[in-house]
Chains A and B, each alone.
Chain A
Amino acid sequence: MSDNRIEGYARGLFEIARAEGTLDVVEDELFRFARSFESSDSLRSALTDEQIPPAKRQAIIEDLLGGKASATTTQLVAMVVGSGRGRDLPAIVNNLVARASSVKHQEVAEVRTAVALTADQQARLGAALVKATGKQVNLKVVVDPSVLGGIVATVGDTVIDGSVRTRIDQLKSRL
Chain B
Amino acid sequence: MSVLSIIAFAHRIAEETPVLDKDGHVTTHSWILPETAEIIYGGISSLLIFFMLFKFGAPAIKKSFAARTEKIQKELDAAAADKSAAATEAATIRQAKGDIEGERARLLADAATQAAAVLEDGRVRLAAEVVDLEAKGVTDIASAQGRVGDELRAEIARLSSAAVDHVVTGSLDDATHQELIENFINRVGAGS
Which residues, 109 to 160 on B, are CB-close (under 8 Å) to A?
156-157, 160
Closest to B162 in A: A172
B169: A residues at CB distance < 8 A? 148
User: Chain B: interface secondary structure?
Assistant: helix
B91 interface residue (CB < 8 Å to A): no
Bound together, the chains give a CA A23 to CA B183 distance in angstroms of 32
B192: A residues at CB distance < 8 A? 128, 131-132, 134
Q: Which of B156, B168, B177, B188 contacts A168 (CB 8 A)?
A: B168
| CB pair B180 A149 closer than 8 Å | yes
Which residues, 108 to 166 on A, are CB-close (under 8 Å) to B?
113-115, 117, 121, 124-125, 127-129, 131-132, 134, 148-151, 153, 160, 162, 164
Q: Which of A114, A124, A149 contacts B185 (CB 8 A)?
A: A124
Which residues, 174 to 192 on B, are CB-close (under 8 Å) to A?
174, 176-178, 180-189, 191-192
| CB pair B177 A115 closer than 8 Å | yes
Most chain B CB within a 10 A radius of its CB, from A117, A171, A175: A175
* Min CB–CB distance A75 → chain B (angstroms): 34
* Min CB–CB distance B160 → chain A (angstroms): 5
Bound together, the chains give a CA A168 to CA B177 distance in angstroms of 15
| CB pair A162 B187 closer than 8 Å | yes
B177: A residues at CB distance < 8 A? 114-115, 149
| CB pair B191 A121 closer than 8 Å | no
B164 interface residue (CB < 8 Å to A): yes
A127: B residues at CB distance < 8 A? 189
B161 interface residue (CB < 8 Å to A): yes
| CB pair B165 A151 closer than 8 Å | no
| CB pair B185 A128 closer than 8 Å | yes
Bound together, the chains give a CA A150 to CA B172 distance in angstroms of 10
Closest to B159 in A: A175
What is B's interface to A at a CB cutoff of 8 Å?
Answer: 156-157, 160-161, 164-165, 168-169, 172, 174, 176-178, 180-189, 191-192
Q: Sample 26 A-B pairs with CB under 8 A, ordered by A number.
A: A114-B177, A115-B177, A117-B181, A121-B181, A121-B182, A124-B189, A125-B184, A128-B192, A131-B188, A131-B192, A132-B191, A149-B177, A150-B180, A151-B180, A160-B184, A160-B188, A162-B180, A162-B184, A168-B165, A171-B164, A172-B157, A172-B160, A172-B161, A172-B164, A175-B156, A175-B161
If A162-B188, A175-B161 are given as contacts, then 8 extra A-B residue pairs at C-beta distance below 8 Å, sorted by A number, are A115-B177, A121-B185, A124-B185, A124-B189, A128-B186, A149-B168, A160-B188, A168-B161
Interface pairs A-B: 6 shortest CB-CB:
A128-B189, A162-B184, A175-B157, A128-B188, A150-B180, A131-B192
